[in-house]
Amino acid sequence: MSFTDRHVVLGVSGGIACYKSCTLARRLTEAGATVDVVLTAAAAEFVRPLTFEALTGRPVLTSLWEPGRALAHIDLAKDPDLVIVAPATGNILARAAMGMADDLLTALLLARADRLVLAAPAMNDAMYANPATTANIKTLTARGWHFVGPEIGALAEGPSERPGRMSEPETILAAAERLLGKPPQGNPKSKWSGKRVVVTAGPTREHLDPVRVLTNPSSGRMGYALAEAASSRGANVVLVTGPTELAPPPGLATKHVETTEEMQRAVQALVKDADALIMSAAPADYRPTQLADKKRPRANGPLTVELEATPDILTSLERPKRMVVVGFALETGNGLAKARSKMQNKALDFVILNDALEPGAGFEVTTNRVTILGRNGKQVDLPLLPKRDVAERILDVVEEAL
Ligand SMILES: Cc1cc2nc3c(=O)[nH]c(=O)nc-3n(C[C@H](O)[C@H](O)[C@H](O)COP(=O)(O)O)c2cc1C
């Protein structure tokens, strides 16, 4: 990761995640960036300016009224390659969306219209879910801001199943690096630009006992490829993934889950304000009715385990009406008919059919051969391609519906 010769402003607003911004400031500096840190008054209550000064080797600004820096808000808006706001509190998002300029950070954000801004929201899950915050993020996205996260996970007040936690510094860095590799506003012509997209990937696992699981050989590659492709088209992607061998794609918010029920909860929490949901995971359809809390001993005779159906993620989902939903159908024969009925029964806009028995397609391989079926009767048969190319072709078709 290199930020050599890059000038970055790190705007820090007053959330508990300020402590992670110290690491972010350090990593940016180590990667070669010149980092100017601007703290809001609330941020300075969490971390002293001196900490950032020591980490970046540069003076830290906290006020519009700093002697000798009369036009800092204009210089810091114009000069830097990127402004990162991390953490971005609910309050700073509201102030920026309103176009307020009542402190140094908001003044520089107002003066920075049309230039790159990357924000990493972090707040209590209810604050994030509040329609006011959703509207503010939409407004800022429409003005060209980019967002990374928030993620699901522990908040200061305890564990949460809903987004609110700031992305890790490495994830923010990777998002910053990707942005700096792009033309200033991403590709504004891409229909994916600024869209919130949830992608599921990989298998899920259902435990029989603490050491044995029911699962399937899904590698997660198709879902990861779709998430990366959507992200590189400018979408704000959250990847919900079951256990895989793959490294989380840089610059994407990633939520790790194990069971189908966990995946269902994560997807339900994320789709509320999503523009598209791409369900490429292969969740386990059954789980044992009883989870043994100790390892089941080996017995000589057969073992009978009673299974029950896991929640069906797509049919149980409360989803926004305008959200485009893409499902996958992995079949082993008579695929077209089964895929069409899946599209109907699960109210999908598109279904991607692949055949588990076809060489080079389906699980565990780096290629796939799929047929894309649309609710409007569209059918696109793709040749055998690397999964990343398949992902691009799927996005080309799905974007018509965005
Ligand atoms: C202990 C504590 C933790 C807070 N954490 C957050 C947070 O994570 N996210 C957030 O949006 N606000 C948080 N707040 C509230 C903000 O600090 C408050 O809205 C403040 O006005 C933000 O100002 P700023 O956006 O100018 O930095 C927290 C407040 C306290 C006292």
Please pick, among 124, 216, 345, 368, the residue that the annotation labels catalytic: 216
Residue 187, pLDDT score: 52
Please state, rounded to an integer, the average pLDDT across all residues of the chain: 91
Among 239, 223, 254, smallest CA distance to 330 is for 223
Nearest CA, atom 4, ligand 1: 15
- Are 241 and 219 spatial neighbours (Cβ–Cβ below 8 Å)? no
Ligand 1 geometric centre to CA of 123 (Å): 8
Please check whether residues 213 and 139 belong to one and the same domain.
Answer: no
Instruction: Tell me the residue range of the domain where 221 lies.
Output: 196-291+305-401
pLDDT in tens, 193-249: 889 999 999 999 999 999 999 999 999 999 999 999 998 888 889 999 999 998 877
Taking the CA of residue 88 as reference, the ligand 1 atom at the shortest distance is 11
Domain end, chosen from 146, 180, 214, is at 180
Among 175, 160, 341, 330, smallest CA distance to 252 is for 175
Taking the CA of residue 42 as reference, the ligand 1 atom at the shortest distance is 27
pLDDT in tens, 332-341: 888 999 999 9
Q: Is residue 58 part of a domain?
A: yes
Residue 300, pLDDT score: 86
List Cβ neighbours of 177 (8 Å cut-off, separation of 6 or more): 1, 2, 3, 250, 251
Provide DSSP, 76-108: HHHS-SEEEEEEE-HHHHHHHHHT--SSHHHHH
Please check whether residues 16 and 95 belong to one and the same domain.
Answer: yes
Q: What is the CATH number of the domain that holds 207?
A: 3.40.50.10300
* Helix (H), strand (E) at residue 391: helix 387-398
Catalytic residue flag (residue 334): no
pTM reported for the whole predicted model: 0.60
List Cβ neighbours of 366 (8 Å cut-off, separation of 6 or more): 221, 386, 387
Nearest CA, atom 6, ligand 1: 15
* CA pair distance 356, 188, nearest whole angstrom: 37
Please check whether residues 231 and 162 belong to one and the same domain.
Answer: no
Domain end, chosen from 180, 213, 246, is at 180
Ligand 1 geometric centre to CA of 46 (Å): 9
Residue 236, pLDDT score: 87
> How many Cβ atoms sit within 10 Å of the Cβ of residue 222?
31
Please check whether residues 174 and 209 belong to one and the same domain.
Answer: no
Please check whether residues 203 and 129 belong to one and the same domain.
Answer: no
Please check whether residues 77 and 168 belong to one and the same domain.
Answer: yes
Structure tokens belonging to residue 219: 């590698």
Please check whether residues 119 and 171 belong to one and the same domain.
Answer: yes
Instruction: Give yes or no for residue 144 CB within 6 A of ligand 1.
Output: no
Ligand 1 pocket, mutate which of 10, 12, 13, 61 (most atoms under 8 A from CB):
13
Structure tokens belonging to residue 183: 């033309």
Please check whether residues 231 and 154 belong to one and the same domain.
Answer: no
Q: Is residue 299 part of a domain?
A: no
Please check whether residues 369 and 247 belong to one and the same domain.
Answer: yes
Q: Is residue 119 part of a domain?
A: yes
Question: Which whole-number Å values give the CA distances from 128 to 33, 172, 174, in the listed order?
Answer: 30, 18, 23
273: pLDDT confidence band, cut at 50, 70 and 90? Answer: confident
pLDDT in tens, 314-324: 999 999 999 99
Instruction: Give yes or no for residue 40 CB within 6 A of ligand 1.
Output: yes
* CA pair distance 216, 243, nearest whole angstrom: 11
DSSP three-state, residue 386: strand
Please check whether residues 13 and 130 belong to one and the same domain.
Answer: yes
Angle at 387 between CA 385 and CA 389, to 5 degrees: 65
Taken in order 96, 101, 107, 112, the sign of the CA dihedral is positive
297: pLDDT confidence band, cut at 50, 70 and 90? Answer: confident
Residue 1, pLDDT score: 65
Q: Is residue 1 part of a domain?
A: no
Q: What is the CATH number of the domain that holds 136?
A: 3.40.50.1950
Give the chain's domain count: 2
Domain end, chosen from 156, 180, 204, is at 180
Q: Is residue 190 part of a domain?
A: no
Residues facing 353 on adjacent strands: 329, 371
Residue 71, pLDDT score: 84
Please check whether residues 393 and 326 belong to one and the same domain.
Answer: yes
Ligand 1 geometric centre to CA of 15 (Å): 4
Please check whether residues 265 and 382 belong to one and the same domain.
Answer: yes
Q: Is residue 334 part of a domain?
A: yes
Instruction: Give yes or no for residue 11 CB within 6 A of ligand 1.
Output: no
Instruction: Give yes or no for residue 307 CB within 6 A of ligand 1.
Output: no
Q: Is residue 105 part of a domain?
A: yes
Q: Is residue 185 part of a domain?
A: no
Spell 183-217 as b/e; 16+ CB within 10 A means b: eebbeeebbbbbbbbbbbbbbbbbbbbeeebbbbe
Instruction: Give yes or no for residue 14 CB within 6 A of ligand 1.
Output: yes
